Amino acid sequence: MNVIIPDDVKVRFRVPARIIGLVGCTLMIASIFMSWSYGHTVLDDVGYWGAPSPLQLYYAVLPVLGVLLLAVPLLGRGRLGRWAKLVAWNTSAKTCAIWSLAVTAVMIASIAIGLGGLVNVDPGGWVALAGALIAVASTLFLPDSPDPNLYRLKSPQWVQILAIVGVMAVLLFGAAYLLNFENADQFLTFGASVVGVVMVLRQFGIFSWLSIAAANNNRVLVTSAFVVAFAFPFTQNGSDANMSIASQVLIFAATALGLNIVVGLVGLLDLGYIAFLGAGAFTAAILSGSAFATIDWVPPFWLTVLIAGTVSSLLGLLIGAPTLRVSGDYLAIVTLAFGEIFRITMNNLDGNDGPNLTNGSNGISAIPDLNFFGFDFGKAHVIFGIDIGRFANYYWLMLVVIAIIIVVFMNLNYSRIGRGWVAIREDELAAEAMGVNTFALKLLAFAGGAFLAGVAGAVKAHYDVSVTPDQYVFLESAFLLAAVVLGGMGTVMGVLIGATILKLLPEKLRFFSDYRLLLFGLLMVIMMRFRPEGIIADERRQLEFHDEDDALAVEIQEEMRAKHVHLNPEPKEWDL
Amino acid sequence: MEYFLQQLINGLSLGALYALIAVGYTVVYGIVQLINFAHGEIFMIGAFGAYATWMILGQPTDWSTTMSLLVLLPAMLIGGMVASVTVALMTERFAYRPLRNAPRLAPLITAIGVSVFLQEFVRLFYGWVPGFPDAKSAIPFPSVPGLSGESLQFGEVLIQMPAVFTLAALAVCSVFLWYFVNRTKTGRAMVATSQDPDTARLMGINVDRVIMAAFALGAALAAIAGVAHGLRYGNIDFRMGFLAGLKAFTAAVLGGIGNIAGAVVGGLVLGVAEAMATSFIPGQFGSSAWKDVWAFALLILVLVFRPEGLLGAKVVDRA
């Protein structure tokens, strides 16, 4: 949001702008003590005077942040000292004001839609809207701050570890809390405030500091992330609804991580990836001992997983060996065609149009739950007095699968193979000239990605109870690709976030389910246009997409240097 | 023998449909090296545009044969072309042009987004126009007296009139394309741009306009294919562009992508191959349920053994 106001005007009016902005934020904070709506059925009943509802309290977080961001710089450069330069006060304040306005708009719209008309919005809502508008208008008059330099801040290790653990805890409880909203309006309001706060903190520079802290304490980060993910089922009190969503997210994420190797690291666009998931799922289903299975042999599950992965990767080799030589755009279409071949074939192997292997379009149903060394995944267990249901069992299993994928991914990323892959992605001819065996490496990525999808598919078959060909249509491949693109190609964190967004939002916002695909298509176009590197940008990738943006190159170089300085206490001359 | 001839005719008419769509892929690819994944949807929009024209004309069902062939059919074709060309130019302007210098993955992913968006747009909003049917399921395509349901008989061989229309349309379009590419300024500019965009620009060719012309040309032919598809199968559906687009791309690769004559030949070969596969492969695998599999298998085989296509001389391996 860049309204063009001359810089000298901004500098002259910065103090009055701050004060007016403060008034706006104060109005918003004051509004939570007023009634927002005439009726009591929308949001979480915001129709009382003098008694803010929980949702209104969360709403106040953004304006309170705004007050801090606007008031502290009033102290003046002298008293702030180095903090004046370390933090992007003005830009953060602007972001804060804009997101406050967005959340206010969501709430007012929820009231108006939920109760039938803007008449039902009480004074509180209007006061908040006025406050937000004032805040936005006044922050536009603030001069742009330089980019935040918070990552320059040296901090003792225990502070860093504490910060990481704190973030993880917030993540756990925030996610658990967010998932518990049943109504779309509450979910949207809370979600928008959370995103707003995150955006403000990003502008503030906290994440660049955190990313350095994380790089410094990689083990702590990974361990605490898994502890948090592992602990998630315990926050659900045995409720299955959210666990079902969570395990679906994990299955989706595991597949997307596999695709991420192929697309994100090697730059091979695979549009038929879902077929490998399907191959794994069908293999596992056929070997599951279901009444509809066409093969009587029931191997133990660990063997099934290996067979499923192998079948998938063999298919990957079969399709990859001929097409990876021609490279380029052809691969996208050939994999797409392969995806269709797979689906049609699974449909036709019904004993009528071909030998009976898959029961055709009916698929294989009644797949029994997993039984792992006597541990029955279908049964609920009680751990620490909390019911852990069927979905939680699969959730944990998928967590282990994802952990393995992430470990593989990370190690590959920094290995000889991984660097070869990235070289192929950046410039295949140059890589080949440098002695990279491009064909073998591409084939390895293709088959490896297929193997991971096959493993995920094997679990998915048991989780879903039935496997049918129409679960594996092209659109699912497009969704996987979207998760990778949206989150950030080539990054683990980004893909996890992308997968979560793409699976979670449709579950929680059912009212827009009919427009889901429309928005999804639009989102892909807009992402490619404005942020092709995704939400979480891989640094190399970001540079690749913006190779004419020198400022960005300098910024990334700065950040990497800072990371390097942190990792090496006695820095010598160091250049990228 | 009659059976073979019958299948040959069936294959050729199906192939003519693919060829008309494939030209759009090949022209755009030849100039901007973009697989316009959304081209199948442009074809679908052409069909829906023709249907809309029919609605606007007051859903004529009782026109005489002459009137239908001389007024109704051209009107539907033009309506379809207007719709498809408009949409194609808009996608070019708003989705592809900003990405012209981006890494290759970006426009391809955008194309998938555009494809999904256009499908959903038609599905959700076509029925919002007052009087229009809901597009969430297949819509019966209007019958054109003189074409729909009629057929020609040559001995034992039966040719449906829509098939004759498709073949005739392809013949006319091929002549037009040949003339356009070899004898008009825009056409020659197109060839020049596809050979070397930078030199073309230096020679005073407006590359942006050439690219727009390529998109428009492909879209216009796709609209004709859309009408032909509607007449042939009797209904249209928002999903029809996906498979047809994929097949047409296969045809374009088969003939040698970037080569217009190749697209026409590739389309015909693919159509005949599909028809022959379902009639002459013995046993269960010859049933029509497998015909798409054979078509795509052909695509993969071509890429393995002759990646430059049947007529193509263009270098395929663009690293």
Give pLDDT, residue A82.
66
Other Cβ atoms closer than 10 A to A435: 8
More confident residue, B49 or A138: B49
The residues spanned by each domain of chain B are 2-243
**Which residues neighbour A522 within 8 Å (Cβ) at sequence distance 6 or greater?**
B113, B117
Give the chain B residue nearest A481 (alpha carbons).
B109
Q: What pLDDT band is residue B122 in, cutting at 50, 70 and 90?
A: very high
Mean pLDDT of A126-139: 84
Average pLDDT for A444-468: 88
Nearest to A485 among B107, B109, B299 (CB): B109
Q: What is the pLDDT of residue A567?
A: 52
Q: What are the phi and psi torsion angles at A375 (to 5°)?
A: -95, 115
> For the residues A371-389, what does the mean pLDDT come to?
69
Is pLDDT of B301 > 70?
yes
CB contact under 8 A, A529 and B120: no
SS3 B57: coil
All residues of chain A having their beta carbon less than 8 Å from the beta carbon of residue B102 are: 528, 532, 545
Q: Is A545 on the interface with B (CB under 8 A)?
A: yes
Helices in A232-359 by DSSP H: which ranges? 240-260, 273-286, 301-326, 329-348
Task: Give me the pLDDT at residue A135, please.
Answer: 83
Whether B113 sits inside 8 A of A348 (CB atoms) is no
Interface residue A434 vs chain B (CB under 8 A) = no
Residue B222 confidence (pLDDT): 95
Residues B145 and A106: their CA atoms lie apart, in Å, by 54
Read off the pLDDT of each residue in A510-529 and give the average, rounded to a whole number. Answer: 82
d(CA A534, CA A545): 11
Does B95 contact A525 at a Cβ distance shorter than 8 Å?
Answer: yes
Which is nearest to B27 in space by CA: B165, B247, B176, B214? B214
Q: What is the mean pLDDT of residues B117-133?
A: 89
Helix (H) or strand (E) holding B166: helix B161-183
CA B48 to chain centre: 14
Contact (CB<8Å) A524/B253? no
pLDDT digits (tens, 9 = 90+) for A232-248: 777 776 677 778 888 88
Q: How many CB atoms lie within 10 A of CB B198?
A: 9
Amino acid occupying residue A214? A
Bridging pattern class, strands B139-140 and B151-154: unpaired
The average pLDDT across A257-262 equals 87
> pLDDT averaged over chain B?
87
Q: What is the pLDDT of residue A328?
A: 67
Taking Cα atoms as reference points, which of B41, B15, B55 lies closest to residue B237?
Answer: B41
| Residues in contact with A428: Cβ distance below 8 Å, sequence separation at least 6, in sequence order | A327, A438, B319
Check A333 against B246: CB less than 8 A apart.
Answer: yes
pLDDT, average across residues B223-242: 92
Q: What is the pLDDT of residues A350-360, one digit of tens each?
A: 777 777 777 77
pLDDT tens digits, one per residue of A312-337: 999 989 888 877 776 667 788 788 88
Size of interface A-B (CB pairs under 8 A): 146
**A503 burial via Cβ count (<10 Å: 0-12, 13-18, 19+):** buried
pLDDT of residue A106: 84
Nearest CA in chain B to A533: B106
First vs last C-alpha separation in chain A = 33
The neighbour count for residue B185, using CB atoms within 10 Å, is 8
- The answer to whether residue B104 scores a pLDDT higher than 80 is no
Minimum mean pLDDT among A485-489, B229-233, B309-313: which range? B309-313
**DSSP annotation string for B16-46:** HHHHHHHHHHHHHHHHH----TTHHHHHHHH
Tens digits of per-residue pLDDT, B13-27?
A: 999 999 999 998 888
Higher pLDDT, B179 or A68: B179
Write out chain B residues lying below 8 Å of A529, CB-based. 95, 98-99, 110
When pLDDT is cut at 50, 70 and 90, the band that residue B220 belongs to is: very high
Q: What pLDDT does residue B20 have?
A: 94
Give the residue from A303, A309, A572 showing the smallest Cα distance to A453. A309
The secondary structure of A180-195 as a DSSP string is T--SHHHHHHHHHHHH
Own/partner long-range contacts of A232-237 (Cβ < 8 Å, ≥24 apart): A232/A172, A232/A175, A232/A176, A232/A395, A233/A386, A233/A388, A233/A392, A233/A395, A233/A396, A234/A383, A234/A384, A234/A386, A235/A172, A235/A173, A235/A176, A236/A176, A236/A392, A237/A386, A237/A387
- To 5 degrees, how large is the angle CA A545–CA A548–CA A554? 90
Q: Note the pLDDT tens digit of each residue in B46-93.
A: 999 999 999 988 888 778 888 888 888 999 999 999 999 999 999 999
Q: Considering the entire predicted model, what is its pTM?
A: 0.81
Residues A293 and A283: their CA atoms lie apart, in Å, by 10
First to last CA, chain B: 47
Q: What's the gap in Å between the CA of B164 and the closest CA on chain A?
A: 29
Which residue type does A311 have?
V
Sequence-separated (6 or more) residues with CB below 8 Å from residue A50? A33
Helices and strands in chain B: count of H runs, count of E runs: 12, 4
Chain B: residue nearest A541 by CA? B103
- Residue B275 in this model has a pLDDT that exceeds 70: yes
3-state secondary structure of A168: helix
C-alpha–C-alpha distance, residues A356 and B187, integer Å: 53
CB-based contact (8 Å) between B296 and chain A?
A: yes
- Comparing A230 with A252, the larger pLDDT belongs to A252
Lowest mean pLDDT among A64-68, A264-268, A348-352, B6-10: A348-352
Q: How far apart are CA B319 and CA B314, in angstroms?
A: 14
Alpha carbons within 13 A on the beta-carbon side of B175:
5
Tell me the average pLDDT across B167-189.
91
Q: What pLDDT, on the 0 to 100 scale, is given for residue B316?
A: 41
Q: Which residues contact B310 (CB under 8 A, 6 or more apart)?
A: B254, B255, B256, B262, B265, B266, B269, B302
The DSSP secondary-structure symbol of B62 reads S
The span from the CA of B256 to the CA of B273, in Å, is 17
Amino acid at position B153, single letter: Q
* pLDDT for res B74: 92
**Residue B118 near chain A (CB below 8 Å):** yes
* Cα A300–chain centre separation: 34
pLDDT at A8 over 80: no
DSSP, collapsed to helix, strand or coil, labels residue A571 as coil
Which of A329, A344, A521 is closest, CB to CB, to B35?
Answer: A329
- Quote the pLDDT of residue A98: 85
Q: Which positions in chain B touch A477 (Cβ < 8 Å)?
A: none
The residue extents of the domains of chain A are 7-227, 237-480, 546-576
The fraction of chain A above a pLDDT of 70, given in percent, is 85
CA distance A495 to A481: 10
Residues of B in contact with A323 (CB under 8 A): 300, 303-304
